[in-house]
């Protein structure tokens, strides 16, 4: 009986971490993507504005899931796995929708391409560095990049509906998107440099 109790405890702990509030917030960001897409392509200004608020809510939840996980000591393997996946999925979905809608068009497409390529590159480099037990800490500039990127996408999701409230909504969003793209190139270089250094060392 004692052995059964000891075996049950880890299972209960795993279920608790899996269903913790920080993880629930992460699941919510993933589940918000279909709602974001549906609202964005809904005809009318209210659809665009609602898509913006869904994206903002997802961004706020991204802050709180990490903060609560650390504050409540509820960090888990599933959370560490899904958190970056959820972030990249919702950003990629938003950028693809904005490109399809031609809110991002012409030269501004390059800013979106830079951001998407960096996200894919960093994911691959993190996986590679993880196999070497090498950790690349998130810099302050990388955090600012994320903030600027999220704000830019929020303004662009509002798009033409936002322009009716403030005429510079789309222009402001595009400007911030380029700033985020520049930050993206710089911060992505940190991961690339760390990976190249370890590849050379291994060889």
Helix (H), strand (E), coil (C) string for the chain? CHHHHHHHHHHHHHHHHHCCHHHHHHHHHHHHHHHHHHHHCCCCHHHHHHHHHHHHHHHHHHHHHHHHHHHCCCCCHHHHHHHHHHHHHHHHHHHHHHHHCCCCCCCHHHHHHHHHHHHHHHHHHHHHHHHCCCCCCCCHHHHHHHHHHHHHHHHHHHHHHHHCCCCCHHHHHHHHHHHHHHHHHHHHHHHHHHHHHHHHHHC
CATH code of domain 2-202? 1.20.120.1760
Q: How many residues can be counted in the chain?
A: 203
- The model's pLDDT over 43-57, given as tens digits with 9 standing for 90+, comes to 789 999 999 999 999
pLDDT number for residue 9: 38
pLDDT of amino acid 133: 63
pLDDT of the residue at 150: 95
**Predicted local confidence at residue 73, as pLDDT:** 83
pLDDT reported for residue 10: 45
Which pLDDT belongs to residue 131? Answer: 67
Helices 77-100/140-163 angle, 10° precision = 40
The CA-atom distances, in angstroms, between 7 and each of 82, 129, 170 are: 26, 33, 56
Residues of the chain with pLDDT under 50: 1-15
Judge whether 174 and 159 are in contact, CB under 8 Å: no
Distance CA 192, CA 195 (A): 5
């Amino acid at each position: 009986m004692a052995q059964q109790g000891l075996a049950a405890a880890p299972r209960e702990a795993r279920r608790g971490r899996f269903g913790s509030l920080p993880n629930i917030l992460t699941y919510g960001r993933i589940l918000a993507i279909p709602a974001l897409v549906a609202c964005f392509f809904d005809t009318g200004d209210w659809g665009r504005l609602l898509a913006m608020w869904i994206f903002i809510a997802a961004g706020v939840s991204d802050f709180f899931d990490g903060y609560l996980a650390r504050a409540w000591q509820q960090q888990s393997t599933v959370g560490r796995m899904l958190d970056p996946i959820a972030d990249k999925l919702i950003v990629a979905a938003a950028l693809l929708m904005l490109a399809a809608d031609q809110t991002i068009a012409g030269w501004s497409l390059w800013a979106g391409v830079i951001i998407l390529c960096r996200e894919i590159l960093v994911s691959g480099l993190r996986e590679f560095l993880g196999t070497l037990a090498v950790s690349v800490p998130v810099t302050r500039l990388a955090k600012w990049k994320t903030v600027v990127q999220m704000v830019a996408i929020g303004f662009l999701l509002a798009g033409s509906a936002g322009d009716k409230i403030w005429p510079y909504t789309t222009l402001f969003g595009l400007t911030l998107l380029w700033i985020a793209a520049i930050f993206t190139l710089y911060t992505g270089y940190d991961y690339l440099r760390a990976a190249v250094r370890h590849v050379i060392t291994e060889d």
